[in-house]
Amino acid sequence: MGDDYAGLFGRGEPLSDRLMAAGEQTGERLWKLPLHPSYAKDTSSTIADIKNSGEGSAGAGTGAWFNGEFVSRDLPWAHIDIAGVAYGGTNAVKPAGSAGFGVRLLDRFARDWGR
């Protein structure tokens, strides 16, 4: 995804669709990724209920799965993984370096919520 997209994981299509739309409007684009049950094995532990790190693969998905374990299954939620876009090169909407990726996106999302 590089400097161009943040990963979007979650449950609830309407929520994800609204976040994707806000990303398109602001230039802080999201790429929807699967929250696949196979990530559960990466958070299993022999000494804890759940662990917050995987075995070196699918780090973004494992992190999203971990977060989702603390949210009721019937409640829509989203995890935006900004690791790849938090820093980086210049593009049409940000200067080089850390530029607060997601602030414009979430502001637009909140402003559009009641529409």
Strands, sheet with 77-81, edge to edge from the N-terminal-most edge strand? 29-32, 5-11, 77-81
- State the chain's mean pLDDT as an integer: 87
Rounded mean pLDDT, 13-23: 96
Specify the pTM. 0.85
Please report the sign of the dihedral spanned by the C-alpha atoms of residue 112, residue 10, residue 101, residue 6.
negative
Query: Domain map of the chain by residue range?
Result: 5-112
Q: What's the token pair of residue 67?
A: 């977060």
Q: Which amino acid is at 86?
A: A
